């Protein structure tokens, strides 16, 4: 056996309709949103549900009010930023992140959560994560790759992950940012309190351990006084 994780099969029609079948809702489970303006939305919803969370798509400020935590998915960070502004979600989201809402950014999500970007062109960001990040730091689409990496705090051995036009952290800007994994000497998984960010796409390999860790973070935040 290769040891690689295999994602569960898709149900016919899920990708075409852009939504999953409605699951049973649990009053005891945390409700975690996936920002659903552009990017890998369905893959994250499936992973969250496999980890025991209620998962919901977030497109508006009203949607945001109904979740206990949020995933900002991979996709195109400039497009997502522009749509956040157009649909008047950016400022409410910045406020929730600043207030301590657990938030998990993957690939483009890492870019959007970063306080600073290593680039000349400005773009809308959510901020809150005290790092400077560079887009496409591992190369363009043809340079995308799969690999296995050890992530501090995640049991069970290396994770299978996919780097697709991936960013990386160029500089950590505060002492409270923990580096949980590196590739080529650069941070690719960082955590700052309730904020988690990865350079890669954990949702496409079927390895749900980072999603499970984030669900646990949301549960702990809900239980805190």
| Contact status, residue 85 vs residue 124, Cβ threshold 8 Å | yes
Best CA proximity match to 111, nearest among 169, 60, 175: 169
Best CA proximity match to 160, nearest among 119, 125, 210, 117: 210
Confirm whether 203 is a catalytic residue.
yes
Please report, for residues 74, 180, 211, the alpha-carbon distance to residue 191 in angstroms, rounded to integers and kept in the order given. Answer: 17, 7, 14
Q: Among 107, 122, 150, 170, which one carries the catalytic annotation?
A: 107
Confirm whether 51 is a catalytic residue.
no
Please report, for residues 31, 65, 175, 217, the alpha-carbon distance to residue 223 in angstroms, rounded to integers and kept in the order given. Answer: 13, 18, 26, 10
Active centre residues (catalytic): 107, 201, 203
């Amino acid at each position: 056996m290769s040891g690689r994780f295999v994602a569960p099969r898709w149900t016919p029609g899920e990708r075409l309709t852009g939504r999953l079948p409605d699951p049973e809702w649990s009053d005891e489970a945390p409700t975690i949103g996936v920002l659903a303006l552009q990017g890998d939305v369905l893959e994250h919803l499936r992973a969250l549900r496999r980890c025991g969370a209620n998962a919901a798509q977030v497109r508006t400020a009203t949607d945001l009010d109904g979740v206990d935590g949020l995933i900002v998915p991979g996709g195109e960070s400039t497009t997502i930023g522009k749509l956040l502004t157009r649909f008047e979600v950016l400022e409410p989201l910045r406020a929730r992140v600043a207030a301590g809402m657990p938030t998990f950014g993957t690939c483009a999500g890492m870019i959007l959560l970063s306080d600073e970007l290593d680039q000349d062109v400005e773009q809308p960001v959510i901020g809150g994560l005290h790092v400077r990040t560079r887009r496409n730091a591992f190369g363009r689409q043809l340079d995308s790759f799969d690999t296995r990496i050890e992530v501090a705090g995640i049991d069970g051995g290396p994770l299978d992950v996919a780097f697709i036009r991936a960013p990386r952290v160029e500089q950590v800007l505060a002492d409270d940012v923990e580096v949980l994994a590196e590739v080529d000497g650069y941070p690719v998984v960082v955590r700052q309190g309730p904020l988690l960010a990865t350079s890669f796409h954990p949702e496409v390999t079927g390895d749900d351990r980072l999603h499970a860790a984030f669900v646990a973070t949301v549960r702990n935040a809900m239980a805190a006084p």
